[in-house]
Structure 1
Amino acid sequence: MARNSRLRLVRPGSLATARRAVTTRRTRPAPRPPEGTPAPAELAGQARTLLSDAVRIARWAAVERGPGAARSLPEARRRAAAALGLTPDQVRTGWDRARLSGLIEIHGDTARPGWRLRAWDRDDMAVLRGWVALFDAWSLAHPVPEHLAPAAVAEVVEAVPQLLSLLQLSAGPVHVPALLDLLEQRVAELREERCDPLDAEGGPAARAAESEAPAADADVPVPVLLDWALQGLASVGALTLGPGQATLTPLGNWAVWVKLEQICVAAQSPAGNIEQSAEDMLRGCARLTPGPARAEYRAWLAARTVSSAVGELLAAARGEDALLRGLAFEALRVVGGPAEAEVRAAAAEPSLRPYALLWIAEYEGADPEEAAEALTREEATWLWVDTAAAVADHGEPQLLLRHLESAVQGTVPALIEEVRAGGHPRTVQVLVALAAAHPDPALAKAVRRAAFQVHTGGV
Structure 2
Amino acid sequence: MRRATAARRAGPPRPPEGTPAPDELAAQARAVLADAVRLARWTATVGGRAAPPRPAPGGTLPDPELQRAAAALELTPRQVQVGWDRARLAGLVELRDGAAHPGWRLSAWDRDDTAVLRGWVALFDAWSLCHPAPCGSDHALVAEVVEAAPQLLSLLHLSSGPVAVPVLLDLLRQRVAELRTERHEPPADGGADPLPGLLDWTLDALVEVGALRPRAGDGEVALTPLGNWAVWVKLEQICVAAQGPAGHIEQSAEDLLRACSHYSPGPARVEYRAWLAARPVGQAVAELLQVARGDDALLRGLAFEALRTVGAPAEPAVSAVVDEPRLRPYALLWLAEQQGCPPEEQMALLTREEATWLWVDTAAAVADHGEGHLLLAHLDTAVQGSVPRLLDEIRETGHPRIVQVLVALAAALPDPALAKIVRRAAFEVHTGGE
Normalised to the residue count of structure 1, the TM-score between the two structures is 0.66
Q: Which of 10, 15, 30 pairs up with 1:34?
A: 15
Other-structure match for 2:165: 180
Supply the distance in 2 between the matched residues of 1:338 and 1:426 (Cα, whole angstroms): 34
Go from structure 1 to structure 2 and tell me whether the alpha carbon gap of 1:427 and 1:160 turns closer, same or farther (over 3 Å shift).
closer
Do structure 1's residue 282 and structure 2's residue 257 form an aligned pair? Answer: yes
Cα deviations by residue, 1:231-257 (Å, 9 ceiling, x for unpaired)? 543432224467866654442223112
Other-structure match for 2:211: 238
Q: Is the 8 A contact 1:57 1:94 kept in 2?
A: yes
Supply the distance in 2 between the matched residues of 1:230 and 1:300 (Cα, whole angstroms): 20
Other-structure match for 2:40: 58
Q: Which of 396, 400, 403 pairs up with 1:425?
A: 403
Shift of 1:372: 0.8
Q: Which of 415, 427, 442 pairs up with 2:386?
A: 415
Other-structure match for 2:100: 112
SS, match of residue 112 in structure 1: strand
Cα deviations by residue, 1:261-300 (Å, 9 ceiling, x for unpaired)? 3444665687875555554332123234352253256358
SS, match of residue 70 in structure 2: helix
Cα deviations by residue, 1:430-456 (Å, 9 ceiling, x for unpaired)? 4235326xxxxxxx4454344344345
Do structure 1's residue 138 and structure 2's residue 127 form an aligned pair? Answer: yes
Shift of 1:83: 0.9
Other-structure match for 1:15: none
Q: Which of 92, 97, 103 pairs up with 1:103?
A: 92
Structure 1 gaps, min length 5: 1-27, 197-204, 437-443
Q: Is the 8 A contact 1:44 1:128 kept in 2?
A: yes
Q: Is the 8 A contact 2:241 2:274 kept in 1?
A: yes
Go from structure 1 to structure 2 and tell me whether the alpha carbon gap of 1:376 and 1:140 turns closer, same or farther (over 3 Å shift).
closer
Go from structure 1 to structure 2 and tell me whether the alpha carbon gap of 1:273 and 1:147 turns closer, same or farther (over 3 Å shift).
closer
Supply the distance in 1 between the matched residues of 2:180 and 2:420 (Cα, whole angstroms): 69
SS, match of residue 426 in structure 1: helix
Supply the distance in 1 between the matched residues of 2:297 and 2:136 (Cα, whole angstroms): 53
Q: Is the 8 A contact 1:58 1:103 kept in 2?
A: yes
Q: Residue type matched to 1:166 in 2? A: L
RMSD, matched Cα: 4.7
Supply the distance in 2 between the matched residues of 1:262 and 1:47 (Cα, whole angstroms): 21
Q: Is the 8 A contact 1:432 1:451 kept in 2?
A: yes
Supply the distance in 2 between the matched residues of 1:278 and 1:194 (Cα, whole angstroms): 19
Go from structure 1 to structure 2 and tell me whether the alpha carbon gap of 1:304 and 1:268 turns closer, same or farther (over 3 Å shift).
farther
Supply the distance in 2 between the matched residues of 1:445 and 1:117 (Cα, whole angstroms): 51
Q: Is the 8 A contact 2:238 2:278 kept in 1?
A: no
Supply the distance in 2 between the matched residues of 1:418 and 1:120 (Cα, whole angstroms): 43
Q: Is the 8 A contact 1:385 1:419 kept in 2?
A: no
- Give runs of aligned pairs for residues 5-404 of structure 1, distance below 5 A: 32-35=13-16, 43-61=25-43, 63=46, 66=51, 73-104=62-93, 112-113=100-101, 115=103, 117=105, 120-121=108-109, 125-142=114-131, 160-171=149-160, 174-175=161-162, 178-190=163-175, 193=178, 209-210=189-190, 213-214=191-192, 217=194, 220=196, 232-240=205-213, 248-264=223-239, 267=242, 273=248, 276-288=251-263, 289=265, 290-295=268-273, 298=276, 302=280, 305=283, 309=287, 312-316=290-294, 319=295, 321-331=296-306, 334=310, 336-340=314-318, 342-347=320-325, 349=326, 352-362=327-337, 366-377=341-352, 379-396=354-371, 399-400=374-375, 402-403=377-378
Go from structure 1 to structure 2 and tell me whether the alpha carbon gap of 1:384 and 1:123 turns closer, same or farther (over 3 Å shift).
farther
Cα deviations by residue, 1:90-149 (Å, 9 ceiling, x for unpaired)? 3233123224434346799x5634745566547655543331232234355457789999
Go from structure 1 to structure 2 and tell me whether the alpha carbon gap of 1:398 and 1:33 turns closer, same or farther (over 3 Å shift).
farther
Q: Is the 8 A contact 2:95 2:339 kept in 1?
A: no
Supply the distance in 2 between the matched residues of 1:116 and 1:401 (Cα, whole angstroms): 35
Supply the distance in 2 between the matched residues of 1:402 and 1:327 (Cα, whole angstroms): 19
Cα deviations by residue, 1:297-347 (Å, 9 ceiling, x for unpaired)? 63587387479636623432xx1x331231233345546233245422213
Higher relative contact order (CA 8 A, sep 6+): 1
Shift of 1:82: 1.9
Shift of 1:54: 0.4
Cα deviations by residue, 1:48-78 (Å, 9 ceiling, x for unpaired)? 3421210221343463665998997444333
Q: Residue type matched to 2:165 in 1? A: L
Other-structure match for 1:454: 425
- Count of aligned pairs: 394
Other-structure match for 1:18: none
Q: Residue type matched to 2:315 in 1? A: G
Supply the distance in 2 between the matched residues of 1:95 and 1:453 (Cα, whole angstroms): 57
Shift of 1:30: 7.3
* Structure possessing the higher radius of gyration over alpha carbons: 1
Go from structure 1 to structure 2 and tell me whether the alpha carbon gap of 1:285 and 1:191 turns closer, same or farther (over 3 Å shift).
closer
SS, match of residue 345 in structure 1: coil
